[in-house]
Amino acid sequence: MKIMKFLLGIMLLVTVNAYGEERPVKRVEVPIGEDGVQRVEIIGGGYYFDPNHIVVKNNVPVELVLTKEAGFTPHNIIIKAPDAGINVNIDMDTKPASVKFTPTKPGKYAIECDKRFLFFASHKEKGMVGVLEVIE
């Protein structure tokens, strides 16, 4: 009986995590720097990207400067939009790393972290998602 209650508790925990809370949207319109690059810093943590809605101009180079918050939990950042010249898949580290690309097609593209611990919900499912919006 006790073990059943315990298992039920675990299941509930996993379910709640799987459908995670909605994260507040933090929208940033990335300015074009003096060097002509749209540079933006993104922090990855448990379980969020900050900012999580990034607006950039089409056909202008973009540089994402990525940093992971301290701690043992691994995070990555994935943006798969090969049609738009974007193919990002990189592990985040506490030491900043940058990724460069030039978007070629306006649209809204998903940002996500697909790390997970064992059989638990992936970080994406826990709300570690964002949007890269490419505008004209």
What are the φ/ψ torsions at residue 8 (nearest 5 degrees)?
-60, -40
Closest approach of Cu ion to the CB of residue 89, in Å: 13
Shorter beta-carbon distance to Cu ion: residue 47 or 101: 47
Q: Which residue, 111 or 113, has its beta carbon nearer to Cu ion? A: 113
What is the binding site for Cu ion (CB under 5 A)? 75, 113, 115, 123, 128
Q: DSSP secondary structure string, 59-126?
A: TS-EEEEEEEPSSS---EEEEEEGGGTEEEEEE--SS-EEEEE---S-EEEEEE----STTSPPTTTT
Shortest reach from residue 116's CB to Cu ion, in Å? 8
Which of residues 84 and 124 has its CB atom nearest to Cu ion in the complex? 124
Least separation, in Å, of the C-beta of 9 and Cu ion?
24
